[in-house]
């Protein structure tokens, strides 16, 4: 088994502890394990020649996400941003421990952490590929559930912000996804108002 396979196995074992579940195509998965697999799939679709560091980051981007609850931070945007920032550092720390344990060198670990922390977004191709993949993961697997919880105005705002995070390859992939009728209509409204 290669180091990459060992790292994937340990990332996946960790994420299988996720207490939430998702049912997809009749199969039940631990939530974070499912999203890690799907994020990895998107990264490979967007960049079939992805670097090993990007592949590693794709499988641990949100590792242990359930371990820091959103409700342990204040409500509102400031609390949300602080939670997200702390989570990113937490994910990077867990990933670094696992990568060191399977024998990765400091340079590779540092690179994976840069991608997980989304450093130099828009100027670092690997980080931008990850951002595109994260947006596509949201649109494909989480978007319709969120529509039911938000007003149309809020959803349009979310979509416009999501669109702004992506580059052309992300936009092209997003436009190729199958959406519910309501989901498609909201995207068209968001893009028209942008």
Mean pLDDT of 31-37: 97
The CA-atom distances, in angstroms, between 161 and each of 118, 155, 186 are 16, 10, 13
- pLDDT tens for 95-154 read 999 999 999 999 999 999 999 999 998 899 999 999 999 999 999 999 999 998 989 999
Do residues 101 and 11 lie in contact, with contact meaning Cβ atoms separated by under 8 Å? Answer: no
Do residues 114 and 15 lie in contact, with contact meaning Cβ atoms separated by under 8 Å? Answer: no
- pLDDT tens for 49-72 read 999 999 999 999 999 999 999 999
Position 194 pLDDT exceeds 80: no
- Which residues touch 111 (CB under 8 Å, ≥6 apart)? 51, 53
pLDDT band for position 193 (cuts 50, 70, 90): low
Q: What is the pLDDT of residue 121?
A: 87
């Amino acid at each position: 088994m290669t180091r990459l396979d060992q790292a994937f196995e340990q990332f996946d074992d960790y994420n299988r502890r996720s207490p939430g579940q998702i049912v997809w195509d009749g199969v039940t998965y631990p939530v974070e394990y499912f999203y890690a697999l799907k994020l990895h799939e998107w990264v490979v679709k967007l960049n079939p020649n992805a670097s090993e560091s990007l592949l590693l980051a794709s499988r641990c981007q949100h590792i242990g996400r359930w371990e820091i609850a959103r409700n342990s931070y204040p409500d509102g945007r400031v609390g949300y941003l602080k939670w997200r920032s702390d989570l990113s550092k937490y994910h990077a720390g867990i990933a670094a421990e696992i990568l060191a344990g399977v024998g990765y060198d400091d340079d590779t670990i540092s690179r994976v952490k840069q991608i997980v922390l989304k450093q130099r977004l828009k100027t670092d191709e690997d980080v931008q590929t990850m951002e595109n993949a994260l947006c596509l993961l949201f649109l494909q697997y989480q978007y319709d559930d969120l529509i039911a919880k938000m007003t149309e105005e809020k959803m349009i705002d979310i979509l416009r912000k999501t669109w702004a995070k992506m580059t052309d390859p992300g936009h092209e992939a997003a436009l190729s996804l199958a959406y519910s009728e309501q989901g498609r209509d909201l995207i068209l409204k968001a893009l028209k108002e942008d």
